[in-house]
Structure 1
Amino acid sequence: MLADVSVTGRGGLSRRLTRGLVDQAAPGLRWAVAVVLLGVSGLFGGLDTVADPRAETVAAGTPVPGGPWEVTVHEAGVRRELGKLRLQKENDRWLYVIATVRITATESTMPPSDLLVLEGATGLVKPTPAEAALERDGSRLRLLHPEMPERIWFVWEQSGDAPVPTSLTISIEQRTYREDSLGGEWQWMDADEKGDDPPAGRVTVPVKADLTPPSASPSPGAGPSPTAGPSASARPRPSVNPKPSRSPSAGPTQ
């Protein structure tokens, strides 16, 4: 039995593994197994909690698997203006993260609104993005299809009274394929029924700041000028132009 015992990366025997071995032993032998395991664990540093390797912090450009998807964060930035997107308050600003999302599940999937969570940014109008748009054509994020990666702009509104972050740590949501305890169906769900799962991973990136003052309002007859980033002129169909070199295109719709 002890030949199959693994130890944690920090030199400690896993508490979960220890409980499992003790529970599987015959009732009359459980005390003996526990004593042996305690002795073995003492050689390796005690009963430590196994760290979840999926929650490690990685560099930008590193793919992070999260169950039915894989997310690669490329960059983050802050801008006063972002295409035709309209701030709720004039002094607010936009925080954006550009990431590639690849669906690794066998079925098309709509990523959750909290797929990316910003850690290190205060004053967000809401914790989930105000907009999420495909970079290639500006269409609003909807269903993504298996093995068809999309480069996506995720955009949050930040209060103008909050400090401009110099870096962001972005945590990536994960799901586990398991049986629904209510309906009995197998589907991608939170591993913890309470929703207390750790993130699949974290990515820390510097923030590129472009806080030039807003441009003067055009005359009533003038059309909007193209600017970089996802844009939302009038809902339900905003437009997007993530890169200055590209012409504006029809964008996300609700």
Structure 2
Amino acid sequence: MFRTARSKVQTWITAGAGTIAALFVAGLMGAFGALPAHTPPLLPLDTATDAGRWRIRPVRAYVSHARTYGVLLKPGQKALVLEADMTNRTARSDKAYFDVFKPDGLALADPMPMIALTRDGTLTPELHPGMTERMAYVWPLAGEAAVPANLSFGVTAEIFKPRDNLYGTPGWFNPYRLGTITLPVADVPAPGTGP
């Protein structure tokens, strides 16, 4: 009987200690969850940055009031344009670059930009491994949309996994916000409308 009572006391103590440890861990996790989110860093403009499968170097941003790199605008529209040098860091030609840049704080009719090579206006080309190309990201905007003099763009990167969890094949996964770039935004009037 003494042994049974002793076993019961040990069981209660063990269960109580486990409960206390679980509550302590849950409290810590809740405390860390309440911490402010980590702010992505401001990325440099003067050097190239590795952003997952792309190496990027933003060059300039401007608002265009006319057709830009073959992207047609509807009457009353203008376009926000971001030009960036991009290098494909992978071993294959690729055009999975649509989500790399996103302007912060602007109401976009379509968050998906039109993208063109600046050298010849080719729309959505595949970029070849190791070749740096200057690309123009073009977002149509309403003519009355206000664009600040300095605009921040979020930069999205991905993580390379030699094997994914579903098929066991290599690829780029888990997009995340790598950081932010901030550029001055020039205003480029349509031809024939300047002073």
TM-score, normalising length: structure 2: 0.71
For 1:165, the equivalent position in structure 2 comes to 148
Of 90, 95, 98, 1:105 maps to 90
Structure 1: gaps spanning 5 or more residues: 1-30, 32-47, 191-196, 217-254
Report whether the alignment pairs 1:77 with 2:62.
yes
Code of the aligned partner of 1:198: Y
- Contact 1:59 1:205 (8 Å CA) reproduced: no
Alignment of 1:87 onto 2:73: yes
Q: Flag the structure with larger Rg.
A: 2
Name the structure 1 match of 2:130. Answer: 147
Distance in 2 (CA, whole Å) between partners of 1:85 and 1:65 is 28
Moved over 6 A (4+): none
Unaligned runs of 5+ in 2: 1-20, 22-34
Mapped to 1, the partners of 2:88 and 2:153 lie a distance apart of 19
1: distance between equivalents of 2:71 and 2:170? 39
Q: Aligned residue pairs: how many?
A: 163
Could you tell me how far 1:128 is from its partner in structure 2? 1.5
- Equivalent residue, structure 2, for 1:14: none
Write the mapping of 1:43-54 to structure 2, written as runs, cut at 5 A: none
Aligned equivalent of 1:198: 176
**What amino acid sits opposite 1:164 in the alignment?**
V
Identity score, percent: 26
Residues in 2 aligned to 1:62 and 1:51: alpha-carbon distance in whole angstroms: 23
Check whether the contact 2:67–2:73 (CA below 8 A) recurs between aligned residues. no
**Following the alignment from structure 1 to structure 2, what is the Cα–Cα distance between the partners of residues 211 and 59?**
28
Aligned-residue offset at 1:133: 0.9
Alignment of 1:1-254 (within 5 A): 55-83=40-68, 85-88=71-74, 90-122=75-107, 124-129=108-113, 131-178=114-161, 179-190=163-174, 197-212=175-190
When you count strand as a share of all residues, which structure comes out higher? 2
Q: Which whole-Å CA distance do the structure 1 matches of 2:164 and 2:131 have between them?
A: 27
